[in-house]
Structure formats: C-alpha cells, structure tokens
C-alpha cells in the first residue's frame, strides 16, 4: 500500500507469530485474514488487578522448575508477589532468567519465566536487587509509573490520551508489533512498538528516528498521530485507524487493517 503509514500485509506476520506468542487479546467473531485457531485465554488474572498483600517474613516458595507465562500488565514485582507471597523476591526471578530479561522493568506477554526456589539468588545479587527494589515497587504500585515500565502500561497511557478504548489500542499494538516483540525494521523500514516509518516519524516526534524503538518516545509519537487522525476523521475510529495504516489520502486502502483491529478488540 502507499500512503503515510503504508505497510506490508499483517496476515503473514500474524500467522507466523501465532505459534510463538500467546496474544493477550481476545478474538471476537471471525478475523479478517487471520488463522482460524483462537488464542488461549490468559491463565491468570492481569497483575494490575492483584491487590498488594501485606509483606511478612514468611515466604511461600514456588515449586521446583515452575514455569510462569507472562501476561499483559505483569511485572517481576507482581509475579514474585503471586508466586512467593513476597514481591521483594522479584530478583530471584530476574537472575534466574537473565538470558531473556535484559531490563527488569521490561518483560513481555508470552515469555516463559522459570520460577526458582525462593532465596536461591546469591547474597551479592540479592543486595543489589534490594537496593533497586524501591523503583520496581513504584512501577508496580503506581499506574503512572507503570506506564513507563511495561507495554500494557504504555497502551493504557495511549488509550487515555487519545480517548480510544484500551481494547482497540491494545489490538492495534498487537497487530503492529506483538506488544514490542517485533521492533523491526520491516521491509518498508518501519520500526518500534507502533511501527513508524522514517518519513512519517518527523511529523510526530522531534527525536531521532532511532528512538522509534523506545516505548516512551514512540508512544508519545503515536498519541500525537492518532489525535491528529481522530480530529481529521471527526472522531471516527475506523477511519482514523485506516489512515494510520494507509495515509489520509489513501485511507480507504487501510479499511481491512482497521476492521482487523476492531474485530480483535471485539468492536467489529
């Protein structure tokens, strides 16, 4: 497709990812151009709905070699609370999974994390982890800070800023990058969680294009773009989504993309 945000068909990308990632988006009805099998629903409630428990000296250890599948909205802090009954033990999970966790504030839906016995982290690592635990706690307990620490937080931030339903923004981000799992560049040069193209990026961000892979910077650009498109479309989300994909001058070509997102979000 041609236009401001023209991108290759998402059908091939989604089909190839279906077996690898467990999307956190519920599918309602038949999805346009999507595989017929349906993703499994999350096996645990989202972490943002978990009430913080009073911390005690007693710890409920996890079973040996337990595997936890990360859900949207999870953090290491909340997973430690769920598995151990003590969120301060988040570092045990972090150090047991460093091969796939490069930043303890960034974990993604679909990751399989090994939950080790509580207290198996060595003393030096535990001391370093405790020194930074206040930052992890803040990111889990404050929705404003959580927005800078997890894909779901940024998605909620974008939904609130644009006035769009969270389900729609979430579905759009899944279609674009599978919650940041596919940062690009695509065959058209698109990059980041919202898949901006080099010639589109300068219209919505003053940051260099290399920052398109930064969740915080890219989300601000996405908010600016969607606000402009929603104003242009008179508040019509379907038209705005179509223009996001194909450009304002060729928005009709993006209606399939828009309908795919709305179907994923249960709005179709």
Lowest mean pLDDT among 63-67, 89-93, 181-185, 208-212: 63-67
Residues 233 and 240: beta-carbon distance below 8 Å: yes
- For the chain, residues classed under CATH 1.10.530.10 are 10-41+148-264
What CA dihedral angle connects 133, 137, 138 and 140, to 10 degrees?
140
CATH for 47-146, among 3.10.350.10, 2.60.40.10, 1.10.3370.10, 3.30.465.10? 3.10.350.10
Question: Using CA atoms, how far apart are residues 140 and 132, in angstroms rounded to an integer?
Answer: 13
Most confident among 77-86, 135-144, 147-156, 172-181 (mean pLDDT): 172-181
Q: Does position 217 have pLDDT exceeding 80, yes or no?
A: yes
Q: Does position 201 have pLDDT exceeding 50, yes or no?
A: yes
Query: Chain-wide mean pLDDT for the chain?
Result: 74
Tens of pLDDT, residue by residue over 104-143, are 777 888 888 999 876 655 444 444 444 444 444 444 444 3
Residues 42 and 24: beta-carbon distance below 8 Å: yes
Higher pLDDT, 155 or 43: 155
Q: What is the mean pLDDT of residues 133-156?
A: 58
| b/e per residue 79-114 (b: at least 16 CB within 10 A) | bbbbbbbbbbbbbbbbbbbeeebeebbebbbbbebe
Residues 237 and 228: beta-carbon distance below 8 Å: no
Q: In the CATH hierarchy, which fold is given to the domain comprising 10-41+148-264?
A: Lysozyme (1.10.530)
Q: What is the pLDDT of residue 99?
A: 82
Residues 70 and 107: beta-carbon distance below 8 Å: yes
Q: Does position 211 have pLDDT exceeding 70, yes or no?
A: yes
Q: Does position 213 have pLDDT exceeding 60, yes or no?
A: yes
Q: What is the pLDDT of residue 265?
A: 92
Q: Confidence band (pLDDT; 50, 70, 90) for 61?
A: very low
Q: What is the pLDDT of residue 51?
A: 42
Q: Confidence band (pLDDT; 50, 70, 90) for 267?
A: confident
- For the chain, residues classed under CATH 3.10.350.10 are 47-146
Q: Confidence band (pLDDT; 50, 70, 90) for 234?
A: very high
Name the residue among 60, 63, 12, 64 with its Cα closest to residue 33.
Answer: 12
Residues 176 and 193: beta-carbon distance below 8 Å: yes
Question: Using CA atoms, how far apart are residues 164 and 17, in angstroms rounded to an integer?
Answer: 26
Q: What is the mean pLDDT of residues 148-173?
A: 89
Q: What is the pLDDT of residue 12?
A: 44
């Amino acid at each position: 497709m041609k236009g401001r945000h023209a991108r290759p068909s998402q059908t091939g990308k989604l089909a190839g990812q279906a077996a690898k990632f467990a999307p956190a988006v519920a599918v309602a009805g038949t999805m346009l151009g999507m595989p017929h099998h349906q993703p499994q629903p999350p096996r645990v409630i989202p972490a943002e709905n978990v009430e913080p428990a009073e911390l005690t000296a007693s710890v409920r250890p996890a079973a040996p070699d337990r595997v936890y599948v990360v859900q949207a909205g999870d953090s290491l802090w909340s997973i430690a609370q769920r598995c151990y009954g003590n969120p301060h033990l988040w570092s045990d999970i972090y150090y047991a999974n460093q091969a796939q966790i490069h930043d303890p504030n960034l974990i993604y839906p679909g990751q399989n994390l090994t939950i080790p016995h509580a207290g198996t982290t060595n003393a030096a690592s535990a001391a370093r982890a405790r020194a930074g635990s206040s930052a992890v706690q803040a990111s889990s307990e404050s929705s404003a800070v959580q927005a800078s620490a997890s894909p779901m937080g940024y998605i909620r931030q974008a939904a609130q800023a644009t006035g769009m339903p969270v389900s729609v923004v979430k579905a759009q981000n899944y279609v674009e990058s599978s919650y940041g799992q596919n940062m690009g560049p695509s065959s058209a040069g698109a990059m980041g969680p919202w898949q901006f193209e080099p010639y589109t990026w300068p219209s919505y961000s003053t940051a260099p294009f290399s920052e398109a892979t930064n969740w915080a910077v890219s989300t601000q650009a996405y908010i600016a773009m969607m606000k402009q498109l929603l104003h242009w479309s008179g508040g019509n989300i379907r038209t705005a989504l179509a223009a996001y994909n194909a450009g304002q001058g060729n928005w009709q070509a993006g209606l399939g993309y828009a309908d795919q997102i709305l179907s994923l979000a249960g709005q179709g």
